[in-house]
Structure 1
Amino acid sequence: HLTGGKDNGLYITDVTNASRTMLMNIETLAWDPTLCRYFDIPMKLLPEIKSSSEVYGKITVGPLEGIPISG
């Protein structure tokens, strides 16, 4: 998942990464509530699932500043 810190970060993952957890419903492309309940995983702790082809943001510091971050 991507994160930029607690104040301005993104807590997201793409569908390819989410599917590897076996907690994502591959028909809805969302976290599966039944599986999360079964394994006692609070859904609020899971990152938002995004498409693999989106630009999520840009690097904001350092020599790579301005470079897009995508899935």
Structure 2
Amino acid sequence: MSIIKYFTITGEYITLGQFLKEESFISSGGQAKFYLQDNPVTLNGELEQRRGKKIFANDRLLVNGQEYEFRQED
């Protein structure tokens, strides 16, 4: 079981592509499509391959064996 990392969303949501760039899984937004084709990413237990998918507070994401839980900025 992995340790859950918490990620704070500053707006209403963050897109999957923005998150991957923010956490340095990719170096540019254009790489998101290819990263998601080659690396399984699950959002709330379901496979997700859309770089524009909106992630909201309380969502859970599994990327490269690391689990993230999203929180809203206070």
Whether TM exceeds 0.5 here: the answer is no
More strand by share: 2
- Structure showing greater radius of gyration is 1
Q: Normalised by the size of structure 2, how large is the TM-score?
A: 0.28
Higher relative contact order (CA 8 A, sep 6+): 2
